Amino acid sequence: MKDREQYARYQQDRDVLAAIGTHLDPQTTPISVRLPRSAAESAVAAWDREELGEIGKESREEYELRSAAAQLALIGLAITARGVWDGEEVVVDLDLVQIAAALQAAQ
């Protein structure tokens, strides 16, 4: 049991993190960004793609890859819904979560 006590602490930490998020959420607004056409078109293609296969048991790496692909698709949705093409770029308002996901993937 002792080796599982850390998870009770982690749960408390997550609860505090969620409380911080609750306070931050109304303070954040989408940020207008410029993306190159090729990346924007790939994001839109990810949104338009249909994944018909069922998701079975995944490794952590597979889950993280699928999660990143889902974030890319949500950026594609944002581009489709409200992106404004400006030559070889698109200007679109993205939520901080989408921006954070892209920055995380770049690390």
Please give the average per-residue pLDDT across 31-40, as a whole number. 98
Full-model pTM: 0.83
Q: What is the reported pLDDT for 91?
A: 98
Number of other residues whose CB lies within 10 A of the CB of residue 103:
9
User: Where residue 35 falls among pLDDT bands split at 50, 70, 90?
Assistant: very high
With tokens 């338009």, the residue in question is: 48
Mean pLDDT of the chain: 93
Q: Where are the domains of the chain?
A: 29-106
Mind listing the pLDDT tens digit for each residue in 54-90? 888 999 999 999 999 999 999 999 999 999 999 999 9
Question: Which helix (H) or strand (E) is 31 found in, with range?
Answer: strand 31-36
C-alpha distances out from residue 86 to 12, 33, 43, 79, 95, Å: 46, 12, 16, 12, 20
User: Where residue 6 falls among pLDDT bands split at 50, 70, 90?
Assistant: confident
Asked if residue 80 lies in contact with residue 44, where contact means CB atoms within 8 angstroms, the answer is: yes
